[in-house]
Amino acid sequence: MSTHATTERLSAYLDRQLPTAESREVEDHLADCPVCRQRFAGMRNVVASLRHLERMAPPPTLGGLVARMPLTFLALLLGIISLAGLPPMSGFVSKWMVYTALLQDSRPLLFVASVVGSIAYYFSAL
């Protein structure tokens, strides 16, 4: 590696997502390059610090939206339903257009990936 390692590559190395050969290249570069070694140490410290953060409970004053602001709650609910892509909301129409375009363009893998990605995103938010 003649140039410095990119942030993306250092991040992938930190997350152990690089293949073995690429990991060795990064390790060799880190051994020889103090600039990248310092950047990598900073990234590692940030990740370690974030892992030790305590989970915070939301303040109790955030509850009771339905009773205090029913119209706002209804608007929020409609927005969430639309973002989830449920019919007949606009989110459904836009996803439908993307999915049909992928199928018409003979890209079944992208179609499956986008459907699975959409579903996985909403389940990850639960």
* Structure tokens that stand for 44 in this block: 């590692």
**Is 33 near Zn ion (CB under 5 A)?**
yes
- Distance CA(54)–CA(52), nearest Å, equals 6
Question: Residue 28 interacts with Zn ion (CB under 5 A)?
Answer: no
DSSP H or E run through 81:
helix 70-84
Of residues 26 and 102, the one with the C-beta less far from Zn ion: 26
Question: Which is nearer to Zn ion, 29 or 95 (by Cβ)?
Answer: 29
Cα–Cα distance for residue pair 16/57, rounded to 1 Å: 31
In this chain, which of 18, 26, 36, 102 binds Zn ion, going by CB under 5 A? 36
Chain residues in the site for Zn ion (CB under 5 A)? 4, 33, 35-36
